Amino acid sequence: MENYIIEMLNITKKFPGIIANDNITLKLKKGEIHALLGENGAGKSTLMSVLFGLYQAENGEIRKNGKVVRINNPNDANTLGIGMVHQHFKLVEIFTVLENIILGVEPNKMGFLEKKEARKRVIELSERYGLKVDPDALIEDITVGMQQRVEILKMLYRDNEILIFDEPTAVLTPQEIKELLQIMKEFAQEGKSILFITHKLNEIMEVADRCTVLRKGKYVGTVNVKDTTKEELSKMMVGRDISFSVDKKEANVGEIVLSVKNLTVSSKTHKNNAVKNVTFDVRAGEIVCLAGIEGNGQTEFVNALTGLEKPNSGIIKLCGKDMTKSSIRQRSINGMSHIPEDRQKHGLVLDYKLEENLVLQRYWQPEFQRRGFIKFDSVRKYAEKLIKKYDIRSGQGSSTIVRSMSGGNQQKAIVAREIDKEHQLLIAVQPTRGLDVGAIEYVHKQLIKRRDAGKAVFIVSLELEEVMNVSDRILVIYEGEIVGELNPKTTTVEELGLYMSGAKRDVVKEISDAE
């Protein structure tokens, strides 16, 4: 007889137009790390929201230690010892760490706050798990990684014994990920039970004891992580074989498409320049990857490249034409496609329908408008073509409001739009951020297809694996400067890491000469 702390039995949860969870069963043992794996929109977050009391299931039941419980809201969940770290943190920005932790369970004497005890406990907890959080820092001043630790402390402070992590590593740097996984292991050793939502297989292999896989809202199976492989897991998740190594032919390099000379961009946050004297070319038929740790000037560089921001100095040429001072629309017409870093801020109008978003870069073209009137039937036809071709899933097809779509499908919509548009240069900034392996493989394939079609592809990525697998050439950016140009075939991840952290650098001369 197994000893389960939480059992979710035959859970069914429907939303208009979609069954998010269809008869799903999940059993969590005491003291284990249980991974919940699935594609974007497979229903992982919904299932966890049911457990945390944010949604009520139409069918099925939840048991704790064998007893049936009803969880109507997060407070119920909390009393049962269930805590959750959400993908998007629920913190009050202008409060301190301590204030956030005690929020909702404020210790008080006759209505007056008693922070002393709480503070002692927070410091004690923080030290015990090596979380290194300053209780008096304001949330808005600390890094995303630290904010996540505040969320973790919130659960610990409430003596939660069942901890839900909803894609906790998506926002972290590789170093922070390592530390988080270590912390999770410690929790498990202490007897806390952890549910870990992710689609990063490496992390599952590293920390999880068992793994439950969902696909399109349905239960696929639960496996012991020791007895399985990454390939097997991904097959369960996607329903077909996934290749991790990206197959690609030799690059067939052609003319220079993008030429950047001595580009300098000022920073909005500090006085120094964010991008310093950057020079390089991207040729037709090759994929160039700009690698670097977040915040080393990539965002500013891409903004200048795409026209969202004005550079201080330097020249940007697209297919031989000087584009330094051109408008965004002109760049677009001249063959620049841009998959932006922040899909919700720049890439989409969330309150527009999917079809309206799919023509965001093209609505003014004769295909979609006549004398200023949008041809909505052409828009719909085009949208339906893209939805089919690029497998964009949504509740109500082309007339779905984009806000209601899952993050992965939002990203797919952007990728579809930018790839399908006439272009010579494709700029993709973290194109696979937050996507599952199936979608990542898909996006990578599309990028390589573009390359093979003779387009220039420029990727900005933080993922080492992506950089190594997809690119034909790697440029490393560190503190706004290009510190190295590497060949992915001859370099190693370790070497790349050294460049990215600034420990190693070359004097990069005119790269076009080196070609």
Partner 1 sequence: MQNKKRFSFKNLTQISGFSSFSSALMAILLGLVFGFIVMLIAIPGNALAGFQHVVLGGFNRIADVFYFATPILMTGLAVGFAFKMGLFNIGASGQYTMGMFFALYVGFMWNLSGSMHWIAAILAGMLGGMLWGFIPGIFKALLNVNEVITSIMFNYIGMYLVDMLIQGNSLMYISTKARTNYLPSDVQIPSLGISGSNVNFGIVFAIIISIILYIVLQKTTFGYELKATGFNKNASKYAGMKGKSNIIITMIIAGGLAGLGGAFAILAPSAIEGSSMTYEPINIIAANGFTGIAVALLGNSHPIGIIFSSVFISHIQRGGTLASLVGYKPEIIDVVIAVIIYFSAFAMIMNSALARFVKNRLKKKDSDHGASESEKTQIDFNEVNYKTKEAE
**Contact residues: partner 1, CB under 8 A:** 9-10, 16, 56, 58-61, 68, 306, 308, 327-332, 338, 340, 345-352, 356, 360-361, 363-364, 369, 372-374, 376
Amino acid identity of residue 162, one-letter, is: I
Residue number, 33 or 305, with CB nearest to partner 1: 305
* Least distance from partner 1 to the Cβ atom of residue 146, Å: 27
The single residue listed with the structure tokens 């919700």 is: 344
How far apart are the C-alpha atoms of 484 and 477, rounded to whole Å?
A: 8
Residue number, 244 or 376, with CB nearest to partner 1: 376
The tokens for 301 are: 């560089």
Confirm if 267 and 300 have CB atoms less than 8 A apart: yes
Q: Which of 218, 285, 288 is nearest to 260 (CA)?
A: 288
| Helix (H) / strand (E) containing 499 | helix 493-500
* Least distance from partner 1 to the Cβ atom of residue 327, Å: 7
Residue number, 98 or 419, with CB nearest to partner 1: 419
Confirm if 85 and 163 have CB atoms less than 8 A apart: yes
* Least distance from partner 1 to the Cβ atom of residue 326, Å: 10
The tokens for 11 are: 């859970």
Residue number, 71 or 225, with CB nearest to partner 1: 71
Residue number, 231 or 351, with CB nearest to partner 1: 351
Residue number, 403 or 449, with CB nearest to partner 1: 403
* Least distance from partner 1 to the Cβ atom of residue 350, Å: 7
Amino acid identity of residue 117, one-letter, is: E
| Helix (H) / strand (E) containing 282 | strand 273-283
How far apart are the C-alpha atoms of 472 and 434, rounded to whole Å?
A: 23
Q: Given the DSSP bridges, would you call strands 67-69 and 59-64 parallel, antiparallel or unpaired?
A: antiparallel
Please list the residues that pair with 22 across neighbouring strands.
Answer: 218
Amino acid identity of residue 216, one-letter, is: K
Residue number, 297 or 340, with CB nearest to partner 1: 340
* Least distance from partner 1 to the Cβ atom of residue 195, Å: 21
Cβ neighbourhood burial of 237 (10 Å; 0-12, 13-18, 19+): buried
Residue number, 305 or 437, with CB nearest to partner 1: 305
Residue number, 16 or 111, with CB nearest to partner 1: 16
How far apart are the C-alpha atoms of 266 and 273, rounded to whole Å?
A: 4
* Least distance from partner 1 to the Cβ atom of residue 86, Å: 21
Residue number, 10 or 279, with CB nearest to partner 1: 10
* Least distance from partner 1 to the Cβ atom of residue 317, Å: 19
Confirm if 323 and 334 have CB atoms less than 8 A apart: yes
* Least distance from partner 1 to the Cβ atom of residue 277, Å: 26
Cβ neighbourhood burial of 372 (10 Å; 0-12, 13-18, 19+): exposed
Residue number, 183 or 350, with CB nearest to partner 1: 350
* Least distance from partner 1 to the Cβ atom of residue 100, Å: 26
Q: How far is CA 99 from the centre of its chain?
A: 29
* Least distance from partner 1 to the Cβ atom of residue 425, Å: 15
Query: Residues in the chain, how many?
Result: 515
How far apart are the C-alpha atoms of 271 and 231, rounded to whole Å?
A: 48
The single residue listed with the structure tokens 């920073």 is: 267
Residue 93: count of CB within 10 angstroms of its CB: 11
Residue number, 141 or 351, with CB nearest to partner 1: 351
Confirm if 113 and 193 have CB atoms less than 8 A apart: no
Residue number, 426 or 470, with CB nearest to partner 1: 426
* Least distance from partner 1 to the Cβ atom of residue 402, Å: 10
What does each C-alpha distance from 334 to 213, 257, 283, 340, 421 come to in angstroms?
Answer: 45, 11, 16, 18, 11
Confirm if 392 and 303 have CB atoms less than 8 A apart: no
DSSP 401: B
Cβ neighbourhood burial of 73 (10 Å; 0-12, 13-18, 19+): exposed
What does each C-alpha distance from 460 to 233, 302, 341 come to in angstroms?
Answer: 28, 9, 9
Confirm if 254 and 457 have CB atoms less than 8 A apart: no
